[in-house]
Amino acid sequence: MSGATIWLTGLPSAGKTTIARTLAGRLRDEGHRVEVLDGDEIREFLSAGLGFSREDRDTNVRRIGFVAQLLAAHGVKVLVPVIAPYADSREAVRKHHQERGTGYLEVHVATPVEVCSVRDVKGLYARQAAGEISGLTGVDDPYEAPADPDLRIEAHGQSVAESAGALHALLAGRGLA
């Protein structure tokens, strides 16, 4: 089975990790080798010490992309639920994959900031509103939504299972599931 990187980008609390973990379970049940490179875990272990400046965010995204490409090149389906707010950083990761002949799909989990701020899974929106933090993607720091993703998921309008199913259908259509 061939590997590929499936990059899920979107605002904080958009549902990226939940969709990725749901799909990962389904793919494993089907016999695929799967890894989820969660943005929060990567920041803790691979990108410790990086802040949230544009340069640090770019470095973080490139590191994650490098690891994802290595795994994907060895037959792993790599699900990457990471905000990755800047289009040029995501494009650099795509090019890195293309140059090495490794599959790469970009998925935009397009949940509006109004919905994300209500979900507020990690309390970031509340902390930003209280003035405790700044630089929150989509609020007081930019998020550049993908112009032409391989798939756009309106996660706020469907169930997690439906969102994961739409992504599975994309993978099946590309011969990856």
CA quadruple 35, 40, 41, 43: dihedral sign: positive
Is 161 annotated in a binding site? The answer is no
Query: Which one, of 166, 168, 151, 6, lies nearest residue 72 by Cα?
Result: 6
Is residue 13 part of an annotated ligand binding site? yes
Is 12 annotated among the ligand-binding residues?
yes
Q: How confident is the model at residue 93 (pLDDT cuts 50, 70, 90)?
A: very high
Q: How confident is the model at residue 52 (pLDDT cuts 50, 70, 90)?
A: confident
More confident residue, 41 or 36: 36
Q: Is 135 annotated as contributing to ligand binding? A: no
Q: 33, 4, 167, 8: which is closest to 98 by C-alpha?
A: 4
Q: Is 14 annotated as a binding residue?
A: yes
Q: Is 90 exceeded by the pLDDT of residue 51?
A: no
| 16 marked as binding residue | yes
The average pLDDT across 149-158 equals 95
10 is in an annotated binding site: yes
